[in-house]
Chains A and B, each alone.
Chain A
Amino acid sequence: MQKTIAMILAILGTAAAFAETAASRPPVLSPAQLGITRAQHLIDKNSRDYEAYNALAVALARRARETSDPSFYTQGEQALDKSFAIAPGNYDGARIQVWLLLGKDEFASALEAATKLNKRVPDDVMVYGFLTDSNVQLGNYNAAENAAQWMLNIRPGNLPGLIRAAYLRELIGDPDGAVELMKMALDSTPPSEAEDRAWITTQIAHLKLATGKTSEAEELLQTALVTFPGYQYALRNLGEVREQQKRYDDAVALFQQRYDAAPRAENLFDLAEALQMAGRATEAKTAFAEFETKSLAETNRADNSNHELIMYYADYANEPAKALEVARREYDRRHDVFTLDCYAWALHVNGQDAEARKQVEAALAVGIQDANMLRHAGEISLMQGDKAAAQRYLQQASALNAPDSERARQLLAALSLTTSTSAQP
């Protein structure tokens, strides 16, 4: 029966794709929605089917990703509660529980639970995936790398292992190597997994964009949007492409479309920034204000938009103390490179440049090549009077030719002007 439904939907989807020449219509049901329907159907047939509740939890969590709506995680937990009520401690359920913890950004709890599962079943590839994820988010990169390598050794070419290894390669400064693995992952993902294919394609585009290959990125993002129309991650990256191209109003439109699809605080922050760049100051001010309200409402939750909130207080609201307060809280939770960078920037706007430099250099020591982070390092160094380091960091940021390189380029120009002026007799 499940296959029948899938097949009918496939045919309908095909017909729809051809009937609609414009690539604007989403598939009839997303893979997650299809999963929810299938699981619910099994539950309707047998309410004691704990595996069906597990499947429902997975599909709901997947829907959370598709929509960025965290309430699906809560629903997923409720489905899991029913699974455990029927089959206490069932292993698949325990795995999904870790998955949900990660989805909710409860990284320390996820690491603890994954470590327990790893002791229970030592050779489960997926649990190593959870260990990788939680360690990455907490900034334990060596442990993450070991876990990801284990995945690839025991099952060469497995998709979750490839994706994780690709992300680690990006973090350690090997974007080309990351693209290589993402392409392999794409090759192994069947066409019907439209959202997975769109996601991987978007990630490749992100890597291209971050290394200055803007036109390649744009082409990939258009493909992702044909594969999964209206895909919010692709819209966001395409917005960045438009910013890079200085087509700010187009960027605003894309970030707006993305925020409409996934009305989360962090997405509103991107929109507000784009409005600011487009010179639409009044709209930007409104959007930033709305962002602050929304972000503050979730600031003490694990699944928050604190990175964006820190940047808002530091760069737009002129509230350095608030920036540092939020940054300290986030720093207490985890030490991943992005948190270190935010913390460093918050320290910097509070005049604590020595500590700021230590933190941002700790992040860069992981190897990541991120234009924004390098620019931060440059500005912090400059404030310390270390012009040589500043120049080096800003040049690296500029050379990446990423959307965030522009600001570094401006600073560099100003710096060389200063340097050359001061060098003249």
Chain B
Amino acid sequence: MKQLKALLAMALLVLTSGNMFASSHREAPITALDRSADVTDWYAFVSYDHPDRVTMILNVDPLLEPANGPNYFPFDPNVLYEMEVDNNHDGIPDIVFQFRFTTTIALPGVFTGYVGGIAGIPQITSLTGPGSTGLSLRQTYSVTMVKNGVATTLAAGLPTVPSNVGPLTMPDYNSLFQQGVHNLSNNVRVFAGTVDDPFYIDLGAAFDSLNFRMGVGGILSPSVDADDTHNYAPDAVAGYNVNTIVLEVPITMLTVDGKLHGAGEKEAVIGTYGATARPSILVRRSNVPPPTPYQQVNREGNSLINELIIGTGSKDKFSTDDPKNDGQFAAFFLDPLLAHLFNSVLGLPIPPAPRLDLLPLVQYMAPICPGCGPQDAGPIADLLRLNTGIPATPVGKQKRMGFLVGDNAGFPNGRRPIDDVVDIAARAVAGILVDSVKYGAAIGDGVNINENGYGTTFPYLIPANSGRNSHHVGPGQDGCSGQPNGICPVN
């Protein structure tokens, strides 16, 4: 009976969570209830400054408000975070990098996760040792590589980078950010922590039934479309943070034969996705372990597939199933509802179904894999395919529209933070791959960049927004550098 009173209070966490967040960077109904396991974005690209390496970025836990103390945003120690790589084109991961986090509350009597420059506690200037006293909420993590069923621990006890509380608590946050870059052996680098969310989108307009800002979105003018340095509509993600895990590894660790390959060789192409899982638990334990020790909660290969293509009734199933079984969702891929919306809302012509032009997103074939024959296509599987033989485009020459405008190192050949996946995916769905003239309307939301910028070296992201000093961007507010006086349009 005494137990029960206590059990009841735990119910609160669920009772109250439903109304707290009503945003979308959260696609599937179940995932939307499990923030820390919600994969927001997945990136994989040939490192800009190391042509022999690939960088993968797994972002989780969406729309983190920088000022949202006192806990900020720890990774969940009960979530297994995974980066998965298929190198023999069967849609099944051959190499998996696993990340597990551990939390320590160093100061259990303190009400907030981070404190410094107050009450005798020094400012936080270091992730470990002197200067880290105020880091009450400490997280470390391990990196494990599973290859051919053999698990190898690549590192353990690495400190994560906390959220940027503000200048009094953390006077040199960029230094903390840099301290989060860990160089492991064999040219492997890793970073985990809270960063500025590199994703950019006019979320409000997109989800208001494609109600883009007049004169900006919908169909972009040639000048707006050609502008890769300014925003013309509000970036709904601006000023928000996200939790990230970034891993850089030599390409030879990923390819099927452990060698580098030219772009024309099929062995150069890998399929990747990011996933989160939680342990399977049986109330009544037995000697027989659960059929699967972990239960997948969420995954992402190609950006926006789950958000824009998969029907709501199937989103949870999609999130929790494996890419190799994606054939069951073929109807969504081959006749996307979004294309019909473009047709009805924007009055655009669209190619007839079945949309075989979209297959390169979900199978191994040209143009991402020019070396693949029909027998190499593999099953329909939502994997972010990356041709490691295509060299990275140097910083400064990268194009937000990526592959569609000849920047072949960009989405959907892998994905870099700069890639405008919203506009690229919209145009692909509208049929630009079938006929770039007939179906080539410049669909876009008018948000062309992350105005905070991008990292040019590992971890290719920029530090988290300050809890005290940052702000968001909305209609009628400052934050659209392409508009007169930088004010974002409302209508």
Listed in ascending order, the chain A residues whose CB lies under 8 Å from chain B are 3, 6-7, 9-11, 13-15, 17-19, 23, 27, 51, 55, 58, 61-62, 64-65, 68, 92, 95-96, 99, 102-103, 105, 125-126, 129-130, 133, 136-137, 145, 148-149, 152, 154-165, 167-169, 172, 174, 177, 181, 184-185, 187-188, 190-196, 199, 203, 223, 226-227, 233, 266, 307, 338
A-B contact pairs, 12 of them (CB 8 A): A6-B70, A62-B9, A92-B18, A126-B14, A129-B7, A130-B11, A133-B7, A160-B10, A184-B279, A187-B76, A187-B78, A192-B70
> Which residues 47-99 of B have a CB within 8 angstroms of A?
67-71, 74, 76-79
Residues of B within 8 Å of A103, CB to CB, are: 5, 8
Decide: A156 and B280 in contact? CB cutoff 8 A: yes
- Which of A99, A190, A338 has most chain B Cβ within 10 Å? A190
Decide: B8 and A65 in contact? CB cutoff 8 A: yes
Chain B minimum-CB-distance residue to A233: B6
- Contacts A58-B12, A62-B9, A155-B33: A165 and B70 contacting too (C-beta < 8 A)? no
Decide: B15 and A203 in contact? CB cutoff 8 A: no
B436: min CB distance to chain A, Å: 44
Residues of A within 8 Å of B16, CB to CB, are: 55, 58
Q: Does B288 contact A (CB under 8 A)?
A: no
Q: Which of B6, B15, B70 contacts A95 (CB 8 A)?
A: B15
Chain B minimum-CB-distance residue to A194: B111
A188 to B113, CA, bound (A): 14
Decide: A14 and B285 in contact? CB cutoff 8 A: no
Majority-rule SS of A interface residues: helix
Binds A, one of B117-125, B183-191, B206-214, B253-261: B117-125
Decide: B105 and A191 in contact? CB cutoff 8 A: yes
Decide: B119 and A14 in contact? CB cutoff 8 A: yes
B166: min CB distance to chain A, Å: 11
Residues of B within 8 Å of A23, CB to CB, are: 109
Q: Which of A51, A169, A199, A227 contacts B6 (CB 8 A)?
A: A199
A169 to B281, CA, bound (A): 12
Decide: B110 and A203 in contact? CB cutoff 8 A: no
Decide: B9 and A199 in contact? CB cutoff 8 A: yes
A15 to B3, CA, bound (A): 33
B465: min CB distance to chain A, Å: 16
Residue-wise, chain B 1-32 has the 8 Å CB interface mask toward A (1 for contact) of 11111111111111110110000000000100
- Which of B15, B67, B111, B297 has most chain A Cβ within 10 Å? B111
Q: Does B282 contact A (CB under 8 A)?
A: yes
- Contacts A10-B70, A184-B78, A191-B113: A172 and B119 contacting too (C-beta < 8 A)? no
Q: Which of B5, B110, B280 contacts A17 (CB 8 A)?
A: B110
Give the top 10 A-B pairs by smallest Cβ distance, nearest first.
A13-B111, A156-B278, A18-B119, A157-B278, A10-B70, A190-B71, A187-B77, A156-B295, A17-B109, A10-B112
Decide: B108 and A226 in contact? CB cutoff 8 A: yes
A43: min CB distance to chain B, Å: 16
Q: Which of A55, A192, A266, A307 contacts B112 (CB 8 A)?
A: A192
A92 to B15, CA, bound (A): 8
Q: Does B160 contact A (CB under 8 A)?
A: no
Residues of A within 8 Å of B112, CB to CB, are: 10-11, 13-14, 191-192
